[in-house]
Amino acid sequence: MSATIGIIDTGRSGNTFSIKRSISLAGGKWVEVKDVQALERVDKIILPGVGAFKDAMRELTAHGLVGPLQEHMNRKPTLGICLGMQIMARIGFEHGKTEGLNVFDAEVQSLRCEGKVPHMGFNKINIVKENKILKGVENEPFYFMHSYELVNYTDIASLTSYKSHQFVSAIAKGDIFGVQFHPEKSRDAGVQIFKNFIDY
């Protein structure tokens, strides 16, 4: 029996439909997770991401999911996408200081570069630590749309350059992964990311 992927409801996640479609194209099956009971029944976890750090953490707290998520992420493969990656940090500074899920010893800060913010469009990643989630996409462009970046120095999986500024575009720690880009908007390369996660 194939694993069931739980897509966590973080509130204003406008990319959820695209994630569901991409998982289906990759041959996986998914369910929405809005409470602890649903979380218990899934084998893998995806934290989607559109919106603000503070709002996402408020939504998870309101549904009693913060503690259970931290517990389940210790034993279930997890993929955070864009904001979903960012809220796995220790703390975020978007619209004020907010505690995150504290999976990674990292902070989320404003993207500071000479280019236009938000950083939008296709860009390539430079893999600095190989892992199964990024396998087969080493030379592919991915779609980015973000105004904040995750600052971490110990779990970096890939970096991306934007207007002479390098930022963390993927992170990995054990069975927990995060990508700053949107694989669900990244065509075939994005579907490959979901295939890799399904097969993980």
| Catalytic one of 72, 119, 146, 182 | 182
| Burial track 2-27 (b if 16+ CB lie within 10 A, e otherwise) | ebebbbbbbeebebbebbbebbeebe
Let me know if 182 is a catalytic residue: yes
Q: Pick from 59, 64, 46, 63: which is nearest to 6 by CA? A: 46
| Catalytic one of 59, 94, 149, 184 | 184
| Burial track 89-106 (b if 16+ CB lie within 10 A, e otherwise) | beebebeeebebbebbeb
Q: Give all strands of the β-sheet with 148-151 in edge-to-edge order.
A: 98-99, 89-92, 104-110, 148-151
| Catalytic one of 82, 94, 119, 146 | 82
Q: Pick from 178, 195, 133: which is nearest to 167 by CA? A: 178
**How many Å apart are CA 140 and CA 36, to the nearest integer?**
36
Let me know if 113 is a catalytic residue: no
Catalytic amino acids? 82, 182, 184
